[in-house]
Amino acid sequence: MRDKLPNPVELLASTQVVVLPEAYSLVGLSVAEWTRLIEDPSLSPRMSAPFMIFRDPHEVTMLLDDVDFRTMQHALRSAKVERGFRLLTFDTVMDFTVVGFLAAVASILAEAGVSIVALSSFSRDHILVKQDDLARALKALGPHVHELC
């Protein structure tokens, strides 16, 4: 018999949502532009700030805070850029048996009219919301989470 799967709504209710103070940008690059970018070590993200780099068969996507984005901006000639995001972290370690956690979060925020970009690290889920939607997102999530900070 299979063990009971974690309930995503109950897990969300026990989760602290952490909002980092920095603004973030999503940057989409061609693989060729990415290759040129990494040849210059001065254009690397700082190791002290959260960042993400994801390469799929079509492009390289970077999530950068404003400090790193400004450092690299001059070298991102043909990149697609979307700025003004805030990063929300669901600060609970996720087991790989959890099903529907981000679906529950997305549903709550969709009901409030908040668009998200979903991200996951190895053990935690994160979302990006536009700065203009941050207050609405936090108000919508507040009744469903343990703590907002």
The amino acid at residue 75 is A
Structural domains of the chain sorted by starting position, each given as residue range(s) with its CATH number in brackets: 8-21+85-148 (3.30.2130.10), 24-83 (3.30.70)
pLDDT, greater one: 2 or 87: 87
| CA 50 centroid distance within chain | 10
Residue 75, Ramachandran bin (φ over 0: left; ψ between -120 and 50: alpha; else beta): alpha
Res 3: pLDDT: 67
Q: Is the pLDDT of residue 37 over 60?
A: yes
Q: What is the mean pLDDT of the segment spanning 38-62?
A: 92
Which runs of consecutive H residues, i.e. helices, occur in 14-147? 31-38, 66-72, 101-111, 134-141
Q: If you average pLDDT over residues 18-30, what whole number do you get?
A: 96
Identify the band that residue 1 occupies on the pLDDT scale cut at 50, 70 and 90. Answer: very low
Residues 28 and 77: their CA atoms lie apart, in Å, by 11
